[in-house]
Amino acid sequence: MEGNAVTRTSRWWTTVAAWLVAAVAVLAPTGSAQAAEGTEPPKMEDGFGLTQAGPAVGTARDFYLTVTTPQVAGEQHIKIILPDGYYDDPDRRYPVLYFLHGSPDDPIRQTYPALSMSNQMITVIPDGGARSWYANWLDQNTVLGAQNWENFHLKQVIPFIDANLRTIATRKSRAIAGISMGGFGAFHYAQARPDLFSQTASLSGDIDLSANSMDLRFAVVASVTDALGAMCASSSGYCDPNESAYKPGVDSDALFGSPYPVFNVDWRWNEVDPSQHVDRFAGTGVSIYTGDGGGSPANMEFWVAGASKNVKARMDALGMPYHYVDYGDGAGWGTQCDGGHSPGCWEQDLRDLIPRLERAFAS
Task: Give per-residue pLDDT as tens, 227-262.
Answer: 855 556 556 666 665 556 888 999 999 999 999 999
Please state, in angstroms and rounded to a whole number, the distance separating the CA atoms of residues 220 and 257: 12
Q: Are residues 12 and 155 in the same domain?
A: no
Tell me the three state secondary structure of residue 191.
Answer: helix
Q: Are residues 306 and 205 in the same domain?
A: yes
Q: Are residues 296 and 199 in the same domain?
A: yes
Q: What is residue 6's predicted lDDT score, i.e. its pLDDT?
A: 38
Q: Are 238 and 324 in contact (CB under 8 A)?
A: no
Average model confidence (pLDDT) across the chain? 89
Q: Are residues 28 and 128 in the same domain?
A: no
Residues of the domain holding 31:
1-37
Q: Are residues 242 and 222 in the same domain?
A: yes
Higher pLDDT, 33 or 130: 130
CATH for 288: 3.40.50.1820
Task: Give per-residue pLDDT as tens, 258-270.
Answer: 999 999 999 999 9
Q: Are residues 146 and 86 in the same domain?
A: yes
Inform me whether the pLDDT recorded for 3 exceeds 50.
no
Q: What is residue 234's predicted lDDT score, i.e. its pLDDT?
A: 55
Q: Are residues 24 and 116 in the same domain?
A: no
Q: Are residues 84 and 23 in the same domain?
A: no
Q: Which of 335, 358, 345, 347 is nearest to 300 (CA)?
A: 345
Q: Which of 155, 116, 127 is nearest to 66 (CA)?
A: 127
List, as one string, the DSSP characters of 200-224.
EEEES-----SGGGHHHHHHHHHHH
Half-sphere CA count of 159, side-chain side, radius 13 A: 10
Q: Are residues 283 and 316 in the same domain?
A: yes
Task: Give per-residue pLDDT as tens, 270-314.
Answer: 999 999 999 999 999 999 999 999 998 889 999 999 999 999 999
CA distances from 67 to 62, 72, 74, 130 (A): 17, 10, 9, 17
Q: What is residue 173's predicted lDDT score, i.e. its pLDDT?
A: 98
Q: Are residues 47 and 33 in the same domain?
A: no
| Total structural domains within the chain | 2
Q: Are residues 311 and 328 in the same domain?
A: yes
For the chain, the C-alpha Rg in angstroms (whole number) is 24
Confidence of residue 39 (pLDDT cuts 50, 70, 90): confident
Q: What is residue 17's predicted lDDT score, i.e. its pLDDT?
A: 41
Higher pLDDT, 20 or 279: 279
Task: Give per-residue pLDDT as tens, 191-205.
Answer: 999 999 999 999 999
Higher pLDDT, 35 or 87: 87
